Amino acid sequence: MKKITQILEGKNLLSIFLTAGFPTVERTIEILTEIEDYGVDFVELGMPFSDPLADGETIQQSSAVAIRNGMTLATYFEVMKIVRKKTDLPVVYMGYLNQILQFGVEQFCRKCNEVNIECLIIPDLPLEVYEREFKTIFEKHELLISFLVTPTTSDERILKIEELTTGFMYVVSSSSITGRRGKITKKQRAHYEKIKAMKLNKPTMIGFGIHDKKSYELACQYANGAIIGSEFIRYVAKENAAYFLTTLKA
């Protein structure tokens, strides 16, 4: 099994976000088993949620479709069981805290272990709550966690995030929701430069607004790699995901 910790030691890493169950459950499985052939280093597989606070219209719509397709957390793990018969590509779980609480934290952790999910992103899990209530149990199950750093995060907070992060630090490129297109602004570049200048000891991945080869390569100058979400979802919807991936590392 490929370890995400080993992957994160690299540079110019490419991660994509995919909503589990979009556009169909069957297509999710196909994409996850094919995607490594296109240079993807790991996948952030999102659990659809009815009110995804950090996500823009594109990912919200994909979540709505996935929910209509019957995607539940139990189904999510069934999908991963099938995927694991075909690939050992590292998969990061992305979902919201309430879903895990309803499923049962211990059961959730065991299921992650069963399908070799090593790392979690839980955007609405505050650092203090993680440290007080979840750190011990996640560590018991050897689950890594990644926290988000935004342009408004203070230096003191960034250092606390670095301390508690066991996966990678998710550098959010802007204070907006996902899905924004356009050139990387001077303000965003200044944010990248600030994070790089801090010489953090944990791996960093830049996400939000990374949508083409140019923005991907720019992000890689300041971090270990970049995560592409909304733009990939758009190409999945057009059944042209493979073409999009070939343009990124051409």
Report d(CA 125, CA 114) in Å as an integer.
Answer: 23
Which of 41, 44, 118, 231 is labelled catalytic? 44
User: Hey, is 86 helix, strand or coil?
Assistant: coil
> Sheet of 91-94: strands edge to edge?
144-146, 119-121, 91-94, 42-46, 13-19, 225-228, 204-207, 169-172, 148-149
Nearest to 158 by CA among 213, 197, 106, 107: 197
Query: Would residue 212 show up in a list of annotated catalytic residues for this protein?
Result: no
Q: What is the rounded CA–CA span in Å between residue 226 and residue 71?
A: 27
Is the torsion defined by CA of 233, 14, 210, 63 positive or negative? positive
- Measure the N-to-C terminal CA separation of the chain; round to a whole number of Å: 27
Q: Is 55 a known active-site residue? A: yes
Which listed residue (36, 51, 55, 106) is catalytic? Answer: 55
Give the span between the Cα atoms of 206 and 155, in whole angstroms.
17
Q: What is the per-residue DSSP string for 116-145?
A: T--EEE-TT--HHHIIIIIHHHHHHTT-EE
Cα–Cα distance, 121 to 46 (Å, whole number): 9
Catalytic positions are: 44, 55
